[in-house]
Amino acid sequence: MTGLRNQIKESKLVVFVNFHGLNSVLNRELRSIIKKAGAKYFVAKKTLIKRVFGEFGFTGEIPEMEGEVALVFGKEDIVEPVKILSVFKKNNPQINLLGGVIEGLFTGKEAMIRLATLPSREVLIAQFLNVISAPQRGLVGVLSGAQRDFVSVLSQIKK
C-alpha cells in the first residue's frame, strides 16, 4: 500500500488500464515496453486503488474501473505512456484505457485517447515557432513584393 502511495506521489500521470483477457506473455511484453519508456506498470485490487486514491483528494471523479485493473505511472513524460498503451491496444484489443489522473485531476477515457493523439513535444515546439514566425515572413514577402513590382514597372517602361 505504501508502494502504491509513493508511486502516486512521484507521478505526473496515472493511467487506469483494463487488461482482462491479456495473456501472461503479452502482459510481460507490455510491462517491458512501458519500463523502457521510463514508466511503471502496477497491478492492484480495485478496492485498494480506490482507497489509496481517495486519500489524495484529487479533483474530479475517479473513473469507472471495470475488469482487471492495472495502473501505469508516468513520472517524467505525460504523453509517452499513453501513446505506448494506445499503440499496444491497436494490436491487442483486449486492453482498454479507463481513464486516469493528470497532475492531480481525474480524467476520463476520452481525455486519455486525446492525449495519445498529441504530437511529440518537439513537433509542438516546431509548430509553435512556425506560427510565431509567420507574421515576419509575411512582412518580408510584402516588402519584397513592392521592390519586385517596381523593377517590373521599370522593365515595362524600358520596353
Domain boundaries defined on the chain: 2-116, 120-159
- Hey, which bits of 19-150 come out as E strands? 39-43, 69-74, 96-102, 105-108
In CATH, which superfamily holds the domain spanning 2-116? Ribosomal protein L10, N-terminal RNA-binding domain (3.30.70.1730)
The mean per-residue pLDDT over the stretch 6-11 comes to 85
* Closest to 12 (Cα-Cα) out of 76, 108, 99: 76
Dihedral (Cα; 45, 49, 55, 61), 10-degree rounding = -140
- In the structure, what pLDDT confidence band is assigned to residue 63 with cuts at 50, 70 and 90? confident
* Closest to 111 (Cα-Cα) out of 82, 142, 89, 131: 82
Q: Regarding predicted confidence, which is higher, 69 or 77?
A: 69
% of the chain with per-residue pLDDT over 70: 99
- The reported pTM is 0.73
Q: How do residues 94-132 score in pLDDT, each as one tens digit? A: 888 898 888 888 988 888 888 888 887 788 899 899 888
C-alpha span between 44 and 36 (Å, rounded): 21
Place of cell 521510463: 38
Q: How do residues 73-97 score in pLDDT, each as one tens digit? A: 988 888 888 888 988 999 888 888 8
Nearest 5°: the CA angle 56, 62, 65 is 125
pLDDT at 49 over 80: yes
